Amino acid sequence: MNKYLFALGAIAFAAWTFIGGGLGISAAQEKAVKLPPPAIDTPAAAQAGTATAVFAGGCFWGVQAVFQHTQGVLNAVSGYSGGEASTATYRQIGTGRTGHAESVQITYDPKQISYGKLLQIYFSVAHDPTTLNRQGPDSGPQYRSAVFYQGAEQKKVTEAYIAQLDAAKTFPRKIVTQVTPLTAFYPAEAYHQDYATLNPNQPYIARFDLPKIENLKAALPEVWREKPVLVAQAGK
């Protein structure tokens, strides 16, 4: 579904949401899943400088916003992964035939937050990893759940965590997240960056993405940051 068409059709619903108590109602409908931390993780001392992770989990607006509110994250950029450079545009990926998924590239300080902790946030509050090619009202392979790993260590930690969560039956259904090597990440168009922060009253954001941010604060307060790190301000 095109998010902009959804937004137009959701105005009445959004008005009801705000009249009925605003974010509280939406958050109640979008509960986070309490997850244990990964049993296997990369020690902070093992990495120097900055590191990156690339996750796909439905519309990149909400995934980006969650990680922008995460301590230790230095930047989170919405974009596309899984396809070719020539098709890395919003118009083309919307066809579902490019191989791309809406993704977020997270640059983080491994001394402050581990790759495993990012995975815990990703599986707990950023999206539902048990729905195949769908998140909320958005359907198609461009909205699939996928971890685009970089190197053997990220692959090992990701696969071990998925096995750990499936074995513990933390979700009612099996995790369908793809674990695939990153070949390239292409930043999305400028108007997609920082979208949830810049458009908090947009009906789609209010219904599907603001609850994720509130769930991060409630479920993982140890990593919560009140002021998001924005693409427009990163590096300044």
SS3 letters across 92-141: HHCCCCCCCEEEEEEEECCCCCCHHHHHHHHHHHHCCCCCCCEECCEECH
Q: What is the pLDDT of residues 173-201, one digit of tens each?
A: 999 999 999 999 999 999 999 999 999 99
pLDDT of residue 235: 59
70: domain CATH number is: 3.30.1060.10
Tokens representing residue 55 in the block: 């996750």
Look at the chain and report how many structural domains it folds into.
1
Q: Is residue 233 part of a domain?
A: no
Q: Is residue 7 part of a domain?
A: yes
Q: Is residue 68 part of a domain?
A: yes
pLDDT beneath 50: ranges in the chain: 1, 4-29
pLDDT of residue 12: 33
Tell me the residue length of the chain. Answer: 236
Q: Is residue 18 part of a domain?
A: yes
pLDDT of residue 100: 98
Q: Domain span at residue 71?
A: 3-223
pLDDT of residue 10: 41
Question: DSSP state, 30?
Answer: S
Distance CA 201, CA 171 (A): 31
pLDDT of residue 51: 96
The one catalytic residue among 59, 77, 219, 229? 59
Q: Residue 59 catalytic?
A: yes
pLDDT of residue 236: 59
